[in-house]
Structure 1
Amino acid sequence: MRDFQDKTIIITGGGGGIGSATARHLASRGGQIAVYDRDLNAAEKTVSAIKAEGGVAQAFACDITNRDQIDHAVAATEEAFGPISVLVNNAGWDIFRPFLQTSPEEWEKLIAINLVGALHMHHAVLPRMAERKYGRVINIASDAARVGSTGEAVYAACKAALVALSKTLAREHARDGITLNVVCPGPTDTNLFAEYAKGAGNPEKLMEAFRRSIPLGRIGTPDDLPGAIAFFASDQAGFITGQVLSVSGGLTMSG
């Protein structure tokens, strides 16, 4: 299936677990992938994997808390691949401690990466999509945004804000032919989740508790996410906007 043939797709945090898996999946379906990551080496590894599989991709060093870097990367992406059709806001960062053990400096970094960075990306890309009357935006939040998560107060708050932002922008840009939807991963085996487990003091006990609480009986993997993201990015989802989908093995079930 080549339903993303020649479509330009930006994926932030594309050097990480979910971002890299999503980049490879969308490239396999014909997308031209712009892999944004603060760690250029990580982005280039994703690009190398895509090219080895016959896909098209380019790495861009981009710290999403820096608007100048974003503007430069977006312009360079369109110069390399043409108009942007899809934006996947995936980049994120977290610390895992009870709220009262965190500092205002840590809050600022969490907010800058998980919320302000996404604001910058929308602000840079949406005008280009609106001008062309077409766009798909998929924001990667978290089930922590829907139900809370011990030790992730500020992260959960940022992701909840991202859900509200997505719904609001979905309303504002519906007449521009742009859809905005949200995918909320549950516990997923990424480097970020590994750090979370370490912070819990007894990682294996925590992992076993998650496995017991997830109806499907296992922790998610990065490869569990691209299908949902690709659906929202596809023309099959052209009449779906402002929606939130959990990919959590049934850990959270919202009507």
Structure 2
Amino acid sequence: MTRSLNGKVAVITGAGSGMGRSMALRLAEDNAKIAVWDINGEGAEETARLVREAGGTAIAIQADCSDAAAIKAAAEQTRRELGPILILVNNAGIAPFNNFLEISEELLTKVLKINLVGPFLVSQECVPDMIAAKWGRIINITSSSVQSGSALQTHYTSSKGGLLGLTKCLAMALGEHGITCNMIPPGSIDTPMLRAADVMQQPGAIEAYGKALPVGRIGQGEDIAAAAAFLASEEAGYMTGQTISVNGGRYMGSA
């Protein structure tokens, strides 16, 4: 276990499974203290247990990361038990697939609240700790669909596009305080959320998608975790407002 994060407290939302769990385990390897926030309390407890079994420090907090009161309560508990929050990974989200004309206003509002309003409010709650410390890292998990488009995810992609804009604004607003804000837009990563998607229910669909990518495989949570660990590190202190695409070659941006 390295010591590069020196016991700094990291909040990872939606870390009860999937990419969030992978990021919790990876940042703990670098000696961050992990606060697992997830609406799924059992999943959060399981992630925290895995971190502790690996020799790290972690607490689990069941919280709706799109609800202001729940966010405030989770942050206060994190500070009491671990200390000020200096690393934030906004990972919690939902990713439904629906035809554009069938998306109700209710569903659109739900997706925007969880995927965009939630990270906005969580960031507002955590940033004062970073300003006081004159050091901070915010990592927003967006989506490669923002880069390429997604015909069945106009609501999801719009919400993640908003998160892209938030990332750039926070990078500009907070840089003078020693805080960086960057984003990781994953490609298709093998998570419970992906496996539950309607479009992936045909036998072998996930594997076939992976084989069609330039790297020849579907992504793993550890791929995202490695990028997050770098962005959280001291070495990434001169990077802010940036997009670190981890997608197996699904999207290749211009130079």
Give the TM-score taking structure 2 as reference length: 0.95
Which amino acid in the other structure matches residue 109 of structure 1?
Answer: K
1:212 Cα deviation after fit: 4.2
Distance in 1 between residues matched to 2:200 and 2:130, nearest whole Å: 46
RMSD: 1.4
1:208 Cα deviation after fit: 5.3
Which residue does the alignment assign to 2:229?
A: 230
Which amino acid in the other structure matches residue 241 of structure 1?
Answer: T
* 1:165/1:68 CA distance change after superposition, 3 Å: same
In structure 1, stretches of 5+ residues that fail to align are: none
1:16 Cα deviation after fit: 1.6
Distance in 1 between residues matched to 2:68 and 2:122, nearest whole Å: 8
Q: Percent identity?
A: 38
Which ranges of 4 or more aligned residues in structure 1 deviate by more than 6 Å? none
1:133 lines up with 2:127 in the alignment: no
Secondary structure class of the residue paired with 1:78: helix
Write out per-residue CA displacement over residues 9-51 of structure 1, whole angstroms, 9 at most, x where no aligned residue: 0000010210001101111221100000011110000011111
1:127 Cα deviation after fit: 2.1
Which residue does the alignment assign to 1:30?
A: 31
Distance in 2 between residues matched to 1:226 and 1:79, nearest whole Å: 26
Which amino acid in the other structure matches residue 2 of structure 1?
Answer: R
- Comparing 121-130 and 208-217, the one that deviates more: 208-217
Which amino acid in the other structure matches residue 214 of structure 2?
Answer: P
Distance in 2 between residues matched to 1:110 and 1:148, nearest whole Å: 17
In structure 2, stretches of 5+ residues that fail to align are: none
Distance in 2 between residues matched to 1:220 and 1:204, nearest whole Å: 18
Contact 2:211 2:218 in 1 (8 A): no
Write out per-residue CA displacement over residues 69-124 of structure 1, whole angstroms, 9 at most, x where no aligned residue: 11111111111111211000000102111111221111111011001101111111
Distance in 2 between residues matched to 1:24 and 1:64, nearest whole Å: 20
Which residue does the alignment assign to 2:148?
A: 147
Contact 2:200 2:206 in 1 (8 A): no
* 1:189/1:177 CA distance change after superposition, 3 Å: same
After TM superposition, the structure 1 = structure 2 runs for residues 39-188 of structure 1, keeping only pairs within 5 Å, are: 39-188=40-189
Contact 1:213 1:251 in 2 (8 A): no
Which residue does the alignment assign to 1:247?
A: 246
Distance in 2 between residues matched to 1:79 and 1:68, nearest whole Å: 17
Secondary structure class of the residue paired with 1:216: coil
Distance in 1 between residues matched to 2:195 and 2:201, nearest whole Å: 12
